[in-house]
Every structure is written in structure tokens, then in C-alpha cells.
Amino acid sequence: MAMTDTAAEGFQERQALLRLMAWLSPAFPVGGFSYSAGLESAVTEGHLRDGDALEAWLGVVLSDGGLRNDAILLCEAHRLQQDGQPLEDLLSLAAALAGSAERYGEITRLGEAFVKAAAAWPHPVIRHLTGTVTYSVAVGAVAAAHGVKRADAVAAFLHAQVSHYVSVAIRLGVIGQTRGLAIVAAAETPILAAAAELCRLSLDDLGSATIIADTLSLRHEIQYSRLFQS
């Protein structure tokens, strides 16, 4: 029996949701567990000593730092893909915005691994994501190609990033799992608010005011002992 238009639309939306869940799952083979985006240095140098400090730190990078920029780049990639526009210039810009060698390595390795893994869902967009591919741009373009709504993609991406940073803090012994879950739960409202706001912004709105976090990412390159690659 053929599906009605409404049923077909519902199926496609649920299919897009399942794919988004798979792509941003910790089990998706991009190697994200190897990176901390400078968080390890923040812990080592005493900036993050407990859950309250971590929660405040995440709030700042979401509202004024790297997470905000990543979300704007994701939105732009989503728009370009939907409009059938090339991604090369955006990929170059996203790579140039990396604040340190480690950060550059992180976002490009994650991006290239994401594209390779996402090829399990065949789509022509994969052919346009070659060479130096940044993670946020890859997620945005692939999400658009598979019919994932922009706001959903941004919210899921930010949630995955926050959850990852919480996992980093747990592995570094800053917090336990219970406190980590509480931080993830508390992050829902600011993530949803950020997703709604950032989808309306453009590349002109890129910018960061998290100097300490950016500096710590640089300092991690010469840190004597470390668990993470960034």
C-alpha cells in the first residue's frame, strides 16, 4: 500500500532524525574522544576545578567562543548545500579560523573522518567534501543533503559538543558522571536558544571573545603530560 503524502513526509522526517542521531553519536567513528579543544589545559592550569566552573566555561564558549563560530559555519554550510552553492570558500574560511595548530588538526581530522563515515549514506554531497574538510562544515552540508532541518542540525551538534566536553572533564577527574549528566541537562535551554539565534546569523557575525580558552589551546601544544591531542 502506497503511503499518503503526510505519511511519507513523516517517514522522511524520522529518517532524517535517525541519521542525525547516528552522525552525532559518540559511537560514530570520527575519533572525537582524542580531542579536548584545549579543555585539558584549562584543567591542568587550574581554571576548571569543579562542575560549576565547567558549566560556566561551557556557557561562555557557547555564547562567545568557538562553539558559537562552529554553529554559524554549520548553518552557512547547510544553507549553501540547500541552495546548490559551492562549499570550497567556506571550507577554506573555517580552516583559517582555527586558533592553533592543534585546533586546526582537530577540526580537519574530525571533518575528514566524518565525511568518510557518512559515505555509508550515499549522496553526491560527499564528492564536494574533499581535501581539507572542517567538521562543522561537513556536518552542516551532509545534514542539509539528507533533509535535516537547519535548527535541528545545529541543536544536535551543540548538544554533542557539550556532551563531549563533559566526557572530557569526567575522564580528567574534574567531575563524576552524576554531575556531568546534570550539566548536560542544564545545557538544553541555552543550546536551544543558541540554535534559534545562530540560524539567523551570517558569516559577518563570526567572532570570538574567549581569549583565555584560545590561549590555553595554544599552550596545550607544549604541555608536558597529556591525555588528549588538543
Phi-psi region of 21 (alpha: psi -120 to 50; beta: other; left: phi over 0): alpha
Q: How far apart are CA 139 and CA 141, in angstroms?
A: 6
- CA angle 67/58/224 to nearest 5° reads 90
What class does CATH assign to 47-201?
Answer: mainly alpha
pLDDT of 9-38, one tens digit each?
A: 788 889 988 999 999 998 999 988 898 888
Q: Give the chain's radius of gyration (CA, Å).
A: 18
Res. 1: pLDDT tops 60: no
pLDDT of 53-62, one tens digit each?
A: 999 999 999 9
Range of lowest pLDDT (4-8, 23-27, 116-120): 4-8
Sorted by sequence, the CB contacts under 8 Å of residue 169 that are 6+ apart come out as 39, 43, 48, 54, 175, 180
